[in-house]
Structure 1
Amino acid sequence: MNIENESPLVSINILSWNSKDKLGYVLNRVEKLSYKNIEIIVVDNDSIDGSPEMVEKEFPKVKLCRLKKNIGIAGWNEGFKIARGDYILVLDHDSFPDKNAIQWCIEKFKNNPKLGLAAFKIVNYYDNSIRQSEEYERYVNKETSVVGSFVKRFVGGGAFIRKKVVNITGGYSNPNIS
């Protein structure tokens, strides 16, 4: 699909491991997003708690990628491989995205053709603190931590990425990305 389209396809790439209850909640929440032209991908890191079976039974439209072993966050790359969207929303199994997050990102990306990735602030569910990747403070330009800023690290489970950036970079190359 052409990214100039009013409603480009967005692939939602969710990584999961032994998180049946949280994953079910996230999938229900994703289905209620205001943006509807989506495909949902769950990459399961060899769960033994019934997570994959729950996805197959309760969410038949979800593409399930079952890994034979837990490869950690490198599992997102498996989701990238099967994603068909012009953009990819990367989530953890316990992410609760704002209902308008995709629409907001698409507008920003359309208005900024050089924008390749937007990393979200990750809010702790329990205390509303902002989660930051290790040494985040060192890399972020605090005055312009929006379009035009460059960071070497970000919280990988909350990102919106232009698919062509994934194609160029090959995805998450460092398995230690947090």
Structure 2
Amino acid sequence: MDASRNDDVTVVVATRNRRDRLFETLPEHRAPVILVDNASDDGGPEEIASAFPSVEVVRLGENIGAAARNEGVRRAGTPYVAFADDDSYWSPGSLARAAALMGAHPRVGLLSARVLIGAEGRIDPVSEAMAAAPIGGASGVPGPKILGFLSCAVVVRREAFLAVGGFEPRLFVYGEESLLAMDLAAAGWELRYAPELVVRHFPLPAGRDRGARRRIEARNRMLTALLRRPAGVVARTAATVIRESPAAVVDVARQLPWALRHRRPLPPEVEADLVRLSAACCAGTARFPRRPAAPAG
């Protein structure tokens, strides 16, 4: 029996047309795996199902981006779910440690791991920023309190994730984590950075349409602000979006009726933490850089 394996956690991997990377990373997982395929057309789902019979392969009829993870969580039969990209995996022992931490701390809804990039294992700047997050946290709960995360490096409490609705399908990809982090915190769940948990990430060199990515990121920042933040933050975000990606304004306008119908401002304490994080970013003492690549799309 594999002593590093943990059956209290299911690993959910969302993917699209990344067959070769999956053959490299799937053997590294030390827990049951659900692979949710976003309508790949490279033959990957069939090959994966044949090569890895223990992996549950879910084939979606269309590419729904990050929301594919929601289907994986719904199918999981464990109390905790870890997310991985098709180019990442959790280091041995990390999932067992995460399950133990969440079992000991029932109000923790999400744990974020330390991410090591590439064969050399350099630390992801986002992990460094999480370690320096200036918003404190309740005594007795492990790690710095956070209000953001990288999807390939978190373990969530399944009941918490499903209760807040998971990833919002309309955001698709790029920055979809922010809204979920806000909603978990608003529901009273603790989100923590636990550096003893480690994820290895092997991203390919950037090769996607950066202009399209900037447009989607800008749209998602604006929609997230409209959905949850005060009017002043919405106005400042709009000014930034107009400057960075005028095309994104058109996209936001199309979604505006939906966003206003679903607007639900955050509790004051969560908004206050976001303001403190923003102030720290502006002062240069903490920074959450954008990711070089995104999964599932």
Same fold (TM over 0.5): yes
Greater Cα offset, 146-155 or 90-99: 146-155
Q: Quick one: distance in 1 between partners of 2:75 and 2:56?
A: 9
Matches within 5 A, 1:6-155: 9-30=8-29, 33=30, 38-126=31-119, 128-132=121-125, 140-141=133-134, 147=142, 149-155=144-150
Greater per-residue helix proportion: 2
**Shift of the alpha carbon at 1:8?**
5.6
**Alpha-carbon distance, 1:148 to partner:** 6.0
Contact 2:136 2:144 in 1 (8 A): no
Aligned partner of residue 14 in structure 1, secondary structure = strand
| Counterpart pick for 1:161 among 156, 161, 166 | 156
Which SS does the other structure have where 1:89 is aligned?
strand
Question: How far 1:177 sits from its partner (Å)?
Answer: 2.1
SS in 2 for 1:121: strand
Contact 1:45 1:67 (8 Å CA) reproduced: yes
TM score, norm. by length of structure 2: 0.49
User: Take 2:99 and 2:32, find their aligned partners in 1: how far apart are those partners?
Assistant: 15
1:4 corresponds in structure 2 to: none
Kept after mapping to 2: 8 A contact 1:115/1:147 = no
Q: Distance in 2 between matches of 1:53 and 1:21?
A: 13
Distance (Å, rounded) in 2 between the aligned partners of 1:23 and 1:161: 22
Quick one: distance in 2 between partners of 1:44 and 1:164?
Answer: 23
TM-score, normalised to structure 1, is 0.79
By relative contact order (CA 8 Å, sep 6+), the higher-ranking structure is: 1
CA deviation map 1:132-164 (0-9, x unaligned): 55xx66x923877x8364333210111111111
Q: Structure 1 CA distance, aligned partners of 2:135 and 2:89?
A: 25
* 1:170 is aligned to 2:165: yes
CA distance in 2, matches of 1:129, 1:148: 21
The percentage of counterpart residues that share the same residue type is 25
Displacement, 1:98? Answer: 0.5
Note the alpha carbon deviations across 1:29-81, whole angstroms, 9 max, x for none. 11xx2xxxx43100111112221012111112211111122222121111112
Unpaired runs of 5+ residues, structure 2, are 1-5, 178-297
In structure 2, the partner of 1:3 is none
The letter of the residue matching 2:105 is N
Please list every run of 5 or more consecutive structure 1 residues that lacks an aligned counterpart in the other structure: 1-6
* CA distance in structure 2 between the aligned counterparts of 1:84 and 1:42, rounded to whole angstroms: 14
The letter for the 1-side match of 2:20 is D
CA displacement at 1:111 relative to structure 2: 2.0
Deviation by residue 1:105-136 (Cα, 9 ceiling, x = unmatched) = 11211221211110112221155333355xx6
The answer to whether the Cα contact below 8 Å between 1:155 and 1:177 also exists between their aligned partners in 2 is no
